[in-house]
Structure formats: C-alpha cells, structure tokens
Structure 1
C-alpha cells in the first residue's frame, strides 16, 4: 500500500478533520452515533494504511469505522477540537504520562480489554492516580537513531585514506564526526551531496530535532539527576553536546543553511532514498517510507545518536513507547464496545497483525505478535542488536516535554542559530528557561 508522508498529511489534514470520512461515506459524527468507531490517528505516515484497514474491518463486520489523521505537530489541537464535539472520537492517543494528564477525564478503564491483557509487560500501561484503573495502553515500541545507507558507507570505508574502516569503528561522537567530515570533504568522489540529509525546519520534519534530538541531552541529564517524572526546571547539563551534533548536521549536509527553513520531510527522505546523503536521523516509523523510496533491509543500518556525552559508547538506540491508546469514556457504550472489539481484532487476527507489523512496520508490545508477525523492520532489529551486545537503551525523555510551544520555540531558536540571525544563547534560553516557563504555565492553567 502507498503510505502518506508527513508533508502530504499536513496538506490533507484540514480536509480530513473537516469531516471527510475514512470509509463508507459516513462522517465521524454518523459513525459514533451509530455505535461505530471513530479513530483520531496521530501518525500521518500510516494514514492511508489505517484507512484501508478500517475499510476492510468495516466490510467484514458491518461496523461503521472512520479514521481521521491530524497533521504533523497538530494532534493536540485537533484532539481538543474533536473531543469537544457532540460525537467525539471513540479511540484516540495520548503522548505518555504528560499527555494522559491533559486528557485523563476522557479515558475509560481499559482493564478488561484484550490489548491490556496481552501486554508483554503490563507495567507499561498508564494508570489512574489511585492505581485502580488502566487508562492508556502503549500502541507500539519504537526506536530512533542515525539511519545510514550501508552501501554508501561501504564506499567511504573503501576510499583510500579513510580514517575509519568499518561501522564498528563508529563508536562515539569523535569517530562519527571523523567519518561525516571525510564524507563531506570527498562527497564528489563518493557521488553524494552531503553526509547528512537536510535538517529541515518545516513542521513535517522539525520534530526530529525539537523532540527526538532534544531528548538525547535530556535523557542523560535525567539519568544523572535520577529524574523519573516531569521536573519543574532543567539545567541543560548536556547542551554543549547538543550543540556538537547540531553543528555536525548543519555543516556536513546536502543543504545550505539558508535553505533549511522550508525543507520538508519529503526532502530528507529523497536525500536518503536517492543516495544523495549517507545519514538520516529518524526512527523505526520511517521504514515504510524508506521502502516506498525503493530501499531494502540490506541497505539500512542504524547508529546511536552520538554527541560527545561521557560514556555514550555504552548506550545503544533511543527506544521507548510514546503513543498510548485511550478509549473515550464519553462515547456511547455501544461505541466503546465496538472500539474494544476492533482493538482485539487488530492484535489477534491474521489481517490485523499483518497490517500492523508488516504493512505499517510496527514493533508491538503484545504477546500475540510471534512467529511470522515479528517485525521485519531493520531499524528495530538494529536496536535489538545493540541491546544484545550489552548496550543500554537511552530512555525517551521527550515524554516529559512540557508543551508543543516549548518545542516550537526551540525549533525557532535553532533555525535562527543555523542561519546566523541568532546566537547559541538563544537556543539555551529556549531549552532551559522555556521549560520552566511552560511547566509553570501548564500548572497555572490546570
């Protein structure tokens, strides 16, 4: 199936959220009112695949099923708008414990659902404050790092004078920088336009930096300070290392800094799939798009995001679960039951498991995904290989990010720094001072 990219999803989302049906010609209101399923999806990369699956399920069962997808970085505002309607989504997603805090009043108890019962580790589920109810169940297990083209990196290793001769030699920021700098210096000989894909600050791609890349220094800081819940303030302990990797992305790139503001996810994907770039920071969710771009598993490898943090050679990929399903307790009892039945079908039926693990490329936290339903996603397999080699997973610190505004402000300050209209002090202020401001604001508004 042809998957939708984030940039295309952004252009379509206005129409989708205006009430266009995902299947069967019914609106979301009609679906919910009829005791059917209305799924507000937060993953633009699976929008078309999810619509196809919903149409198949509806055809088999007769249950009306609508899927609508919010554009990249607009899910929270879309969810707020949709939940306020007379016939709101029956199934929606929250982003970790901070997201659940915002929407817990809409979350039904999921203790009796098959998706909770089939969790490999039920402690992953999010509970009510008193621990009596299961309010959210993790959707997928995902990972991110620096994806690379094995075939292109091999050309570098074989190049006369290459300082690093194999991928095992890339073990920290110093060695990553050496390889990247030498690729950039010899890009014409290697037939590439740059070591890294375009950084890009269009909303379709900026989340790779204001969320995922920013999570790396946060994770190391939280580990050092034993932080296990959202802190009111942060120190920015590893901001110098954050600057290291950003500077590398900017300098050894396919794209001049003057063009970064409008570069999209499609541009970055084109860089890596056409062979214009060797490295591409992204995650396991990008695998379907890489396949659509003509790549196969033998061409793909992944490195951890090295930035110069002491001891980083002992860590593997950044792995976790950001997205959690919630069933809307304000939906009708019939719609809630229909939603639970679909989730059971998704993780137990052959068609559901095939679509989730192979068509959409997800690694799941459920016991039912065994044998041929174990993911063939090479990015997830790479994360498993680092773990098997004794490397620690880097936790997802971005689950505690205070707001989308914090991320947007961080993006703006990084872009200003990249283009020379701002200094690194602005990035530091957005990161540290902006965190305290946004946390304080969220508490005052709660």
Structure 2
C-alpha cells in the first residue's frame, strides 16, 4: 500500500461513505465482478488498456453491466463494472484502491469527498469528455485543474399517487405549501379506515432507507439556512430551521403506513412496495425511482407526479424540486497510462454515442449535462424542467457540504429515537446531533 493510500485509510473513518445514497437502492448488494476477472479479460482480449469502473449506484448496476458489455463488443476494450453495496461506497473504494488493478474510474460526491481523493484524480481539463460538458458548473475544479465531472443531474421530492389523492378529494393543485400538505395528510389519516390507505409510506430508518431523511430531508433546513445567511457551506451549522425539520418529520411518521416505533426496521423496499401497492399517497424519493414505479405493470405517467418538499420556509409558491448532483466521475491517475486513456475513451463514448446516451436517458433515467444528451422520458425529470420553466427555484443539493457520514449517522440515530418516543427531550437529541455533531465532525475532518 503506498503512502497516499495508507494516509487515506487511516483517516477514512472520518469520512467513510461520504457518497450518501442518492437512490441508494436496497436492492444493492455488492454486485461486483471481481478484479481477477478484469485481469483475465484484459489479457484474453489483447486490447490496449482496460477500464475498471467502481459504480456508486446499485439501482443502475444492470444497465452499467450491459453498457460495459456493449462497449467491449464494439471496441474490444475490456470494461469491468463493480457496484458497491448501498451506503458502503467509500469503504469499498478504499479497499479496492489498495489492490493491484485498482479502479480506473470512480466517483466523489463533491468538494468534501474530493478532499479525500484529490491526489488520485487525473486532471480532466484537456479531455474530450470535459469538452462535452454544457457548463463549467458541472466540473469539479480548483483553479485550472479539473478533478471530476458530473455525469448525472437528478431531482427528488414527494412522489404522489394522483389517483389516491383524488380519491381522498384533492389534487396536486391543492398542495402549494407545508400548511396545505399538513391539512391534506392529516385529513387522509383521519379517514384512513374509510379510504383504505395512508398519507405517507413508511419513513424507514434501516440503512437502505434512512438516507432519505438524514441526508435528503436534512438538506432542506441546511438549504434555507444557507440562503438566509448568503453562504454555500459552513464549519458550524446553526440549525435555524430545525423546528421546521421537526414539523415535517412529525408529519411523515404520524401519518404513515406504520407505527413510528417500527421505523428502525423498515427498509427502502418496504416504502417502495407500500407505494406500489397503493397503501399511501406520498413517497419521498427521487427521479431515480421512476423505472421502479412504472416498469412491469406498475403505474403510468397519468398516475404519478412529483411535488416539492415544503417545510414551511421561504417562498413556497415559487419553490421547485430538490435538484442537483453528488455524482462526479474521477479517473485514477495512479493507473497505467493505457488504462487511463481507455477510461477516458469509455467515458466519452457513454456521453456521445447513441447507445450510451439512450441508455443513460431512458434506462437509467438520467439527465446528463453533456452536449449529446438525449431527452429523458422520465416523468419526474420532465416535471423538474416544467417547474423551472414556470420560474420556480430549484432547491440546491447542499448535503454535499455535510461534514461526514458519521454526522449523518448521528442525525439518523437521533431521528429514530425521537420517532419511538416523541418528546421535546428526544428532539433536543436531534438538534444536538445536527448542530453540535456538525461542529465536531467538521473539526475532525479538517484536522482542527
């Protein structure tokens, strides 16, 4: 193990798994193809260079495997895709980087994640794929050095079963604020026996699901605090809007398909399956869920919508979906020169070829920030564009500034404890994990 990786491994506990499961599907085990297979196929094909992609997104594993196979058939260049288990990307990356035949293509979640891997990032400034970007805003840069390139833009919010909502006597036009949402949700709860469904799916705090709340929902009070203070990151979050966070969490857990005491064991699959079964109207998740909800006899576009997550702050009438990225491709500068070039060529093919762009748009449901992007058929992607066209302001992804995975875990544990016993004292534990935990983890991550 080289000195860079040894130092990184020793500090890894401070930032393990910084890539926080956007679409961290519970169907993701480690679906990896072994690095031994990679070495064998490289030698067998005789191709110059090979690619080893450590994929972050379990829910897109099969599509990446298929795309890799197609590229190899077309070019003769071996491409191996290894998919890390949900919530374990950073630890998997550390492990794989310590092996011979380490990943040539990996990802970081933004500036915080980049801090761990900067010394391993090839400068992409002169690459073909950098030239394909529609905006420099999608490049992870410092001065003139390009360390990473965003390969997907995604949105999340409240996915709505419009048919059930209408059965309850409402439409999405009736929900334009937190107050509106609270009114609708509590009315559905009051009539749940009569209606036969709940307002919200289970807010599961199992590891396959908790990222939706300790990361994605937590983004909202962070976003509004940053907006109020005119900043884009901080070493000490104040928790200005944590009362609003509590209001939304209360709404989720007290108007759902299960008792709040059961949430520690509820999974991401549970929540999705409840929505698919018509057990609840609302399901907090993102554009990456579209294929899961519409495939194999699922819902049609007429059944679904995505609305903003309102928490009672800001100009709610003009609030859009939470839209951004935490997915930046990086190329391993420690790899052989031929493997680096093979990796650059594969990346460029993915975002310029008909098959690559079609797969990313239609099968993966991605909006990709490249000139050759195909229009996505994903309803939630289209709705995000419609919100923006109407002049609504997207909520930016600020969870990339969260100081560590340990901070998220602390918040998640406190949320779970509060759900089981909803006292002010237990909510104070959430506030402490959020505010005090932020300061502590930031100082540890930055050697202060």
Using the size of structure 1 for normalisation, the TM-score is 0.90
Task: Determine whether 1:103 maps to 2:117.
Answer: yes
2:138 pairs, out of 119, 124, 133, with: 124
Answer whether contact 1:297 1:378 (CA < 8 A) is retained. Answer: yes
1:136 pairs, out of 148, 156, 176, with: 148
Cα deviation, residue 237, structure 1: 0.2
2:165 pairs, out of 125, 149, 153, with: 153
* TM alignment of 1:201-240, pairs within 5 A: 201-228=205-232, 230-240=233-243
Instruction: For residues 92-143 of structure 1, give each alpha carbon's deviation from its aligned partner in whole angstroms, at most 9, with x where no partner exists.
Output: 0100111112111111011232321111112320113xx1221110011111
Answer whether contact 1:63 1:338 (CA < 8 A) is retained. Answer: yes
Answer whether contact 1:141 1:365 (CA < 8 A) is retained. Answer: yes
| Match in the other structure for 2:276 | 273
Query: 1:166 and 1:389 mapped to 2: Cα distance?
Result: 19
Query: 1:295 and 1:29 mapped to 2: Cα distance?
Result: 43
| Match in the other structure for 1:292 | 295
What SS does structure 2 have at the residue aligned with 1:444? Answer: coil
| Match in the other structure for 1:27 | 37
Answer whether contact 1:5 1:266 (CA < 8 A) is retained. Answer: no
Instruction: For residues 271-298 of structure 1, give each alpha carbon's deviation from its aligned partner in whole angstroms, at most 9, with x where no partner exists.
Output: 1111111100011111121123612222
| Match in the other structure for 2:369 | 365
Cα 1:43/1:388, change in 2 over 3 Å? same
| Match in the other structure for 1:346 | 350
Aligned length: 419
Cα deviation, residue 87, structure 1: 1.6
What SS does structure 2 have at the residue aligned with 1:92? Answer: strand
Cα 1:403/1:348, change in 2 over 3 Å? same
Cα 1:171/1:107, change in 2 over 3 Å? same
Gaps of 5+ in 2: 1-22
Answer whether contact 2:164 2:278 (CA < 8 A) is retained. Answer: yes
Answer with 403-412 or 283-292: which moved more.
283-292
Answer with 182-191 or 278-287: which moved more.
182-191
Using the size of structure 2 for normalisation, the TM-score is 0.90
Query: 1:413 and 1:180 mapped to 2: Cα distance?
Result: 24
Cα 1:5/1:93, change in 2 over 3 Å? closer
Answer whether contact 2:162 2:304 (CA < 8 A) is retained. Answer: yes
| Match in the other structure for 1:383 | 384
Instruction: For residues 59-108 of structure 1, give each alpha carbon's deviation from its aligned partner in whole angstroms, at most 9, with x where no partner exists.
Output: 22211111111111111111111112222100001001111121111110
What SS does structure 2 have at the residue aligned with 1:302? Answer: strand
Query: 1:181 and 1:106 mapped to 2: Cα distance?
Result: 51
Query: 2:34 and 2:91 mapped to 1: Cα distance?
Result: 18
Gaps of 5+ in 1: 158-164
Query: 2:171 and 2:277 mapped to 1: Cα distance?
Result: 23
Cα deviation, residue 30, structure 1: 4.8
* TM alignment of 1:36-435, pairs within 5 A: 36-128=50-142, 131-157=143-169, 165-192=170-197, 194-228=198-232, 230-292=233-295, 294-369=298-373, 373-420=374-421, 423-435=426-438
What SS does structure 2 have at the residue aligned with 1:35? Answer: coil
Query: 1:29 and 1:205 mapped to 2: Cα distance?
Result: 35
Cα 1:308/1:209, change in 2 over 3 Å? same
Query: 1:32 and 1:172 mapped to 2: Cα distance?
Result: 56
What SS does structure 2 have at the residue aligned with 1:410? Answer: helix
What SS does structure 1 have at the residue aligned with 2:430? Answer: helix
What SS does structure 1 have at the residue aligned with 2:155? Answer: strand
Cα 1:222/1:31, change in 2 over 3 Å? farther
Query: 1:156 and 1:402 mapped to 2: Cα distance?
Result: 41
